[in-house]
Amino acid sequence: MAIIEQTWTFFPGRSYSQDELSEALPRWLDGRALGLARQLFRRSAVGRRNLVITPEEVLSFGRSFSAKNELYRTTVRDACGALSRRIAEGTTEDERESIDLVVTVSCTGFQIPAMDAPLVAALSLSPNVRRINLTQHGCAGGAAALAIAHEWLAGHPAARALVVCVELCSLTFLPEDRSEENLVSAAIFGDGAAAVLLAGERAERQDPKAPTLRIRDTFRELFACTEHFMGFEVREEGLKIKLSRDVVPFAERTFPDVVSRALARFHVEDPSQCSFGAIHPGGRRVLEALEDHVRLPKSVTRTSWDTLARHGNMSSVTVLVALDKVLHEHAPLGPGALGLVTAFGPGFCAEIGLLEVNEGR
């Protein structure tokens, strides 16, 4: 089992209240579309979120894909720099030397080399470190990266793995697109970055007797004939969001069986046995589907509602922010407590992991 040792978050740009952002809507919409957008903003369960550009810039027409992507590249570099400084302050040289795998995730822009190159340099990691970049997993990317790190550490139990996600959703917004799916995205998406340090079971730890939060097992499933549910279309002006109305009814019909199959793999009889979680808050209705149809306890979704309210949906980053809240903002969990880390993304796919609190060695 991989041990989740530390988490870090960083929110670039400025935090805007949902009311502030709603006030800018008449610059973009009018008539029925404006009324619908205002309703979506009110019902989103989002209270605040960070944007790296102002609302006026978000709604500016004619910005080219290349200009948006250049801002993406420079902002990702700055966000990785900020995370690197926090990671360096919170870890020892020996811990950083033991990092043998770096998994980076981002779907809201494009760059070669990926963000892992400056991260490796900033943290003075081994030049032989293995690097994996997930660029097209969308909202599922954070949970998928944790699963990859967990499975890799099973074969390298004395090593560590670093997962870093950076998403700048505001830079993908197309004011030229007045579709209903883009109105929904305008109401929920924000910008953020997060990192997680994981250790193998035999990695040297400063306090080996301290309780640990571990990933006990992982599960994933790809659903047939659902490619149209979500994703991006590449256009000359940028990335156009795809967000089908079919997602919520599909979630209500399908998620109970998917979670049941995952729990059966984990040898957990019922969702009620889980007492905490880091569930990707794709939106209010997805969280409601997990509570009402899967019967996830509210203690499992609590950090997700909090993340959605304070930061919105930050694509792959969001599940790591929820995990950070589990570690830092909620009451200590006793040995044996079980939790879930879950995200859904393009494909359409599910990534589910079982978390467990263990006593120290």
CA distance 286 to 140: 14
E strands present in the chain? 2-10, 14-17, 48-51, 99-105, 130-134, 160-168, 191-199, 212-222, 230-235, 238-243, 274-279, 338-345, 349-358
Which helix (H) or strand (E) element contains residue 58? Answer: helix 55-58
CA distance 226 to 16: 34
Residue among 79, 313, 348, 68 nearest 186 (CA) = 313
Q: Look up tokens 């998994």; give the residue.
A: 103
DSSP string, 214-244: EEEEEEEEE-TT-TTSEEEEEETTEEEEEE-
CA distance 142 to 175: 27
Residue 262 CB contacts under 8 Å (≥ 6 apart), including other chains: 219, 221, 350, 352, 354
Neighbours of 66 (CB within 10 A): 10
Out of 80, 107, 139, 349, which one is annotated catalytic? 139
CA distance 89 to 153: 24
The dihedral through the CA atoms of 37, 12, 173, 132 has a sign that is: negative
* 80 among known catalytic residues: no
Catalytic sites, residue numbers:
139
